[in-house]
Amino acid sequence: MGWIKLIEFERPKVIDGTLIQGLPGLGFVGKIAVDYVIEILKLPKFAELYSDYLLLADGRAGVYVDLKGILDLPRYEFYLFKEKNIIFLAGNTQPVSWAQYEIAEKVIKYVRELGVSRIITLGGTVTPSRKKEVYTATTNEKLMDMLRKYDVKKSIGGAITGAAGIMLGISKLYNMDGFTLLGNVGKIYPDVEAAKAVLTVISKMYEFKIDFSKMDKIIEDIKIKSKAAGELTALIERERTEREKEKETRQYYV
């Protein structure tokens, strides 16, 4: 068993509450979505979880250092949206593969004590569609029927890897409702559009308003930069092709 330390700043109580998890993963969809709602709604943090199973992104043990030179261990952070009985779980890393079950069970046991009865995980997925759609897999058919009215598509077959999947698998063992919302990830990473898509579903489901203006500005800036980069790449390719053609047609005399 590894080292796991949970630090509570206060102990909230929710009624039939929901845990929404958003951690780094494909397209950083879940992390962007949860970090954004925490920032925009200015939600208070009430607990942190540390573990030697939470390593740096490259798999090594160490600490993160921010732009101010302040260091911190990799961690999970718990934030409370009291008005809607929602706990948001954020983090700057995922557990190592062999510890996903242990960390997930630790979190589920903890939030159950606080009154949580439903687990939602946010993440990214890759599909043939270019549209920003949201896909789901659930712990039971009743939830799947409920999600249809939010224009969420059923994810059929395959697997959901990492914390986004394991949290739901463990929650099912504890007879808790659960589902995932996966934003369709495109070529641009991190995918802010996919994060907005899953966050839009959450805001409709739990009936709270969120200002997307900052996110929209980021999306527009990314599109402009992506377009400029694409045009530059195309220009370089055209010039290279023209040079190759010039070499082929050039005649040499001795």
Residues 86 and 141 grouped into a single domain: yes
CA distance 137 to 110: 24
Structural domain total, the chain: 2
pLDDT at 109: 97
Q: Do 204 and 219 sit in the same domain of this protein?
A: no
Residue 224: which domain range?
A: 212-254
Q: What is the pTM of this model?
A: 0.87
Positions in the chain whose pLDDT score sits under 70: 1, 188, 223-254
The DSSP secondary-structure symbol of 139 reads: S
pLDDT of residue 231: 44
CATH classification of the domain holding 156: 3.40.50.10900
Do residues 164 and 249 share a domain?
Answer: no
Query: Which residues, 6 or more positions from 64, have their beta carbon under 8 angstroms from its beta carbon?
Result: 56, 71, 72, 73, 74, 92
